[in-house]
Amino acid sequence: MITCRGIYKSYSRGSRRKNVLNNVNLDVGRGERLALLGRNGAGKSTLIKLIGGVEMPTSGKIRRDMSVSWPLGLHGGFQGSLTGYDNARFIARIYKRDYFEVKNFVEDFTELGRQLAMPVKTYSSGMRARLAFALSLAIEFDCYLIDEIILVGDQNFSRKCHYELFEKRNDRAMILASHSPDTVRAMCNRAIIIHNTQATEYDDVNRAVETYINL
Amino acid sequence: MAHSLLKQLARGWSVQIRVIHALMIRELTTRFGRENIGFLWIMVEPLLFAGLVGLIWQWTKGPEEHGVTVIAFAASGYIPITLFRHGIGRSISAFTANGSLLYHRQVKVLDFILARFIIEVLGGMMAFVFALVVLASVGEIPVPDNIGTMIAGWTLYAMFCLSLCLVITPLSEMSEVIEKLVPVITYITIPISGLPYMVSWMTPGVREILLWSPFVNGMEMIREGIWGDKVTAYYNIWNPIVFSMILTLIGLALCRRVRRELAVE
């Protein structure tokens, strides 16, 4: 269970403050698949970062009673100057996993071959996505935080992600920030629209998607 | 209740130790790579610095001053000050530089400071021991008169450096002015660092002022530990302890505040 109560987030730039989220309340139970919808800059990534503990809310409480992945997106989680293998070793260490198991899984899932011995900063975004996904799958979380951008890989990658995440691990919870009505309809069973710093919850995904399209 | 709290604390510790260990290895591979002598550079940097400065001093001041050999005196002063300068230098913007690792919740901002500082301390101490062994074997420096006092001096000196890092790191994230000022400030602290003198060489008035500096107190202890009765050392162990404690408290509070506001890409 993830519980967010009274979440406010604002960023300060000099003397000005910009409100991003105003009083967001949210529960995500085990196995639930929640879509975050909203226009660019609405605060989807911010909310995901708060839930993942990357940034702290300005006020409010977030409780995590299950293991939650780090936010999987194009940014963060890696040290660019280190190789794919070094990053895997770092992550295996801090999550207390056996490096060789992680390494085998990563080699198998990413199919990056010798590229894994190159610094991550030389990777394309597709390659980064593969590495990030492989690592988070190797660690095994109860809840995955995913920025949809990362799912835009080639066919082979999409198929693998789909199999690993939606079929093999369909008991896991997921929070997916997305712009794609099709993905949301197909993958999620609840949705939240973030608009003008407010979050509105919808139990019916189709209605959420329609509201979102008309924003 | 108390038992489960203790268990939680123990688990938290073991996680942080794992994270610091991983961060240290990461830091060493990014800074020194795996080629040639690799991580041994952490020791070579301060050694080269102290060695070269020692040679220059010997050339300008002659081989002996106030009854101690100049080259050994330079080494005993320069290696600790390298710890201070590198430690502070490494602290600047340490949170943003490591920001992408904050995606992993168990990684705390304090771990960044500790990991970097431990590396500097290890490098400094290894360099110091190496210099002692080499200089002692050629008779430039005596075998330390009291190793305990020497180590205690080092520990206090390092403790004060760490507490400074704890303050400077969050400050450098809060204001760019501080970030720009730090190199200047570390430079002008050299006179109160205890580096090129012993307090006993000064007039009583100057002595009073210098003994307010935690660096000087630590350095005097290190030198007494090495030369024993050959030098007159003035120090009060409470000075560095109290200053470090105060700075550590301020630093921890600042870190907490900065972490709440930190924007991570």
Q: Supply B170's token pair.
A: 């969050």
Residues in Cβ contact with B46 at an 8 Å cutoff, skipping those fewer than 6 apart: B78, B79, B82, B83, B86, B123, B124, B127, B128
Is A8 a domain residue?
no
- Least Cα distance to B161 among B141, B139, B180, B189 occurs for B189
Q: How large is the C-alpha radius of gyration of chain B?
A: 20
What is the per-residue pLDDT across B74-95, written as a single tens digit (0 to 9) for each?
Answer: 889 989 999 999 999 999 999 9
User: Per the CB < 8 Å rule, is A94 touching B22?
Assistant: yes
Q: Could A91 and B259 be called an inter-chain contact, meaning their C-beta atoms sit closer than 8 Å?
A: no
Domain-located, residue A103? yes
Cβ contact B104–A94 (<8 Å) = yes
Which one of B99, B103, B260 has the shortest CB-CB distance to A70? B103
- How far does the CA of residue B29 sit from the closest CA of chain A (Å)? 8
Weakest mean pLDDT among A117-121, B65-69, B98-102, B226-230: B65-69
ipTM value for the complex: 0.93
Contacts of B145 by beta carbon, 8 Å cutoff, 6+ apart? B224, B225, B226, B227, B228, B229, B230
pLDDT of residue A48: 95
Rounded to a whole number of angstroms, the distance from the CA of B258 to the nearest CA of chain A is: 10
CB contact under 8 A, B99 and A79: no
pLDDT tens per residue across span B7-27: 888 988 999 999 999 999 999
Structure tokens of A196? 């003008």
| Residue A96 forms part of a structural domain | yes
Query: Does the residue A51 lie in any domain?
Result: no
Provide, as residue numbers in chain B, all residues whose Cβ is less than 8 Å from the Cβ of A86. Answer: 26, 29
**Number of other CB atoms surrounding residue A140 within 10 Å:** 12
| pLDDT greater than 90 at residue B188 | no
Task: Please indicate, yes or no, if residue A120 is contained in any of the structural domains.
Answer: yes
Nearest by Cα to B113 from B128, B98, B100: B98
Contact residues, A window 6-25, toward B, CB-based 8 Å cutoff: 11-12
| Confidence at residue B162, expressed as pLDDT on a 0 to 100 scale | 97
Q: Report residue A44 as tokens.
A: 């989807």
Q: What are phi and psi of B67, to 5 degrees?
A: 80, 5
Contact list in A for residue B104 (CB cut-off 8 A) is 70, 77, 91, 94-95
Give the closest-approach CA distance of B199 to chain A in angstroms: 46
The predicted model gives A42-49 an average pLDDT of 93
DSSP codes, B184-253: HHHHHTGGGTT-S--GGGS-HHHHHHHTT-HHHHHHHHHHHHHHGGGS-----THHHHHHHHHHHHHHHH
Residue A71 contacts B, CB cutoff 8 Å: yes
Neighbours of B203 (CB within 10 A): 7
On whether any CB of chain B is under 8 Å from the CB of A49, the answer is yes
Between A22 and B61, the more confident residue is: A22
CA B69 to chain centre: 24
Q: Identify the closest residue of chain A to B17 by CA–CA distance.
A: A94
Tell me which H or E stretch contains A199: strand A198-202
- Rounded distance, CA A138 to CA B257, Å? 34
Matching residue, tokens 């989220």: A21
Q: Is residue A89 part of a domain?
A: yes
Q: Do A90 and B99 touch (CB under 8 A)?
A: no
Q: What is the pLDDT of residue B210?
A: 92
**Residues on chain A touching B106 (C-beta within 8 angstroms):** 94-95
The count of structural domains within chain A is 1
Helix axes A99-110, A125-139, angle to 10 degrees: 140
H-helix or E-strand spanning residue A190: strand A190-195
What pLDDT score does B1 carry? 61
Instruction: Please give the pLDDT value at position B197.
Output: 86
pLDDT of residue A167: 86
* Structural domain that includes position A131: 80-140
- Quick one: pLDDT band at residue B31, thresholds 50, 70, 90? confident
R_g of chain A computed on alpha carbons: 17
Q: What are the distances in angstroms from CA B241 to CA B161, B163, B245?
A: 11, 10, 6
pLDDT at B182: 87
A9 token code pair: 């987030």
pLDDT of residue A108: 93
Q: Do B104 and A93 touch (CB under 8 A)?
A: no
How many helices (DSSP H) and strands (DSSP E) are in chain B? 10, 2
Q: What is the pLDDT of residue A67?
A: 95
Confidence of residue B54 (pLDDT cuts 50, 70, 90): confident
CB contact under 8 A, A77 and B104: yes
Q: Tell me the C-alpha to C-alpha distance, in Å, between residue B194 and each of A170, B33, B58, B79, B131.
A: 64, 34, 18, 12, 19
- Say which residue, B61 or A175, is predicted with more confidence: A175
In terms of average pLDDT, the best of A3-17, A74-88, B161-175 is B161-175
Average pLDDT (B123-137) is 91
pLDDT reported for residue A186: 87
For the stretch B148-172, pLDDT in tens is 999 999 999 999 999 999 999 999 9
User: Is A123 in CB contact (< 8 Å) with chain B?
Assistant: no
Q: In this structure, are residues A69 and A145 in contact, taking their beta carbons and an 8 Å threshold?
A: yes
The identity of residue B8, as a single letter, is Q
The reply to whether A119 touches chain B by the CB within 8 Å rule is no
Residue in this structure with the two tokens 């977030």, named with its chain if needed: A62
Chain A closest-CA separation from residue B22 CA (Å):
6
Has residue B117 got a pLDDT over 90? Answer: yes
- Asked if A135 contacts A91 with a C-beta cutoff of 8 angstroms, the reply is yes
- Contact check, Cβ <8 Å, A55/B264: yes
Domain limits of chain B?
Answer: 2-261
Contact B19 A94 (CB under 8 A): yes
Contact A114, A81 (CB under 8 A): no
Of chain A, the end-to-end C-alpha distance in Å amounts to 30
Give the contacts of B154 (CB within 8 A, at least 6 positions apart): B80, B125, B128, B218, B222
Calpha distance A80→A76 (Å, rounded): 9
